[in-house]
Amino acid sequence: MTVRGTRVDVRTADGTADAYLAHPDDDRAHPGVILYMDAFGLRPHLERMADRLAAAGYTVLVPNAYYRNGRAPVVELPEPIDPESDDTLFDRLGPLLATLTPEATERDADAYLRWLADSPLVQDGPVGLTGYCRGALLALRTAASHPDRIALAAGFHGGNLATERPDSPHLGAGRITAELYFGHADQDESLPPEQIDRLAAALTAAGVRYRAEVYAGALHGYTQADTVRYDAAADERHWEALLGLLKRVLPA
């Protein structure tokens, strides 16, 4: 299927978020998907991921979650991305990540979902979410804050999903009606086993339909082909899980 990718602007309560939009090049409406970026931001690799989803029959919006600090790319990144070779990288990313508060995430989700609802390229009805690294956290928060608009949410190598903080995203489990999937990295300091267990307990207690798998041998960031932590086998497993969930819950 031929895919068209364009840059779009989304008006939010806090300004204008630049975003990448990918969709089948057939002038028809398709189910909508929001792809939430990882900590490294909107960049060509995420655009290629959106293109692959669009080729499966979806209209995919990839917002620049750091838009409050400028249009993408907000941070200059090395090639390949290797945080261990640049000890200043997370010093630069830290203030950007700090802008993604629960309140800001909910306001932004309002805008992204409204934009999709108004687009002639998107079918009426609920949408799907997929998120990577910090994007998995954003997807979990959005599923809780907009239960009537989200059919499914998937998160891959997400971090800090079930902390002991009073605003931890797992505490919103009782509001979630979407079906969830998580592909955890088993070598991930940002999501240790106790958080995996805490997340599972919260979702189970809330009656959420979900499946969570630990990808053996996979590092945090295993889906990101422009980083040194990429794992081709784990990435392909992620695509099988994500596309399978989309096909079943939100068929194109």
Taking Cα atoms as reference points, which of 201, 183, 175, 170 lies closest to residue 243?
183
Measured between alpha carbons, how far is 209 from 182 in angstroms, rounded to an integer? 12
Measured between alpha carbons, how far is 90 from 6 in angstroms, rounded to an integer? 29
User: Contact at 8 Å (CB) between 50 and 59?
Assistant: no
Please compute the mean of the pLDDT values over residues 9-34 and round it to a whole number: 98
pLDDT confidence band for 86 (50 / 70 / 90): confident
pLDDT of residue 187: 87
125-160 confidence digits (pLDDT tens)? 999 999 999 999 999 999 999 999 999 999 999 999
99-119 confidence digits (pLDDT tens)? 999 999 999 999 999 999 999
Query: What six digits make up the tokens of 138?
Result: 């954003």
* Cis before 251 (ω within 30): no
pLDDT confidence band for 83 (50 / 70 / 90): confident
Q: Write down all domains in the chain, each with its CATH number in brackets.
A: 3-249 (3.40.50.1820)
Report the b/e string of 92-104 with b at 16+ CB within 10 A: ebeebeeebebeb
Please compute the mean of the pLDDT values over residues 65-94 and round it to a whole number: 94
For residue 26, pLDDT beyond 90: yes
For residue 42, pLDDT beyond 90: yes
| Distant-in-sequence, close-in-space partners of 65: CB < 8 Å, separation ≥ 6 | 17, 36, 37, 41, 42, 100, 108, 134, 135, 138
157-207 confidence digits (pLDDT tens)? 999 999 999 999 999 999 999 999 999 999 899 999 999 999 999 999 999
Q: Model-level pTM?
A: 0.98
pLDDT of residue 87: 84
